[in-house]
């Protein structure tokens, strides 16, 4: 899966989908896709990543308390 690194605008290949989907993980491992050569894996903060469409990552991937917030919002 590819996401966009907001600060640079470059694509990042996500190397750890399990960490991406885990809301308790604040960072993921990925390789920057800029230029001709594949870069070494680096840790990226989830807050610095978006989908290529510009859409933010789903709340359930980044907020470990999203379920409790949904319950309290419903009243």
Would the pTM count as exceeding 0.85? no
Instruction: Report CA torsion sign: 37, 38, 43, 44.
Output: positive
| Structure confidence at residue 67 (pLDDT) | 77
Burial class (CB in 10 A: 0-12, 13-18, 19+), 52: exposed
Residue 8 has pLDDT above 70, yes or no: yes
The model's pLDDT over 41-67, given as tens digits with 9 standing for 90+, comes to 999 999 999 999 999 999 999 999 887
């Amino acid at each position: 899966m590819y996401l966009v690194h907001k600060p640079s605008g470059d694509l990042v290949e996500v190397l750890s989908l399990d960490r991406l989907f885990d809301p308790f993980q604040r960072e993921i491992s990925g390789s920057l896709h800029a230029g001709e050569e594949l870069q070494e894996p680096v840790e990226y903060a989830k807050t610095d990543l978006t989908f290529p469409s510009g859409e933010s990552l789903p709340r359930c991937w980044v907020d470990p308390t999203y379920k409790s917030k949904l319950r309290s919002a419903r009243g």
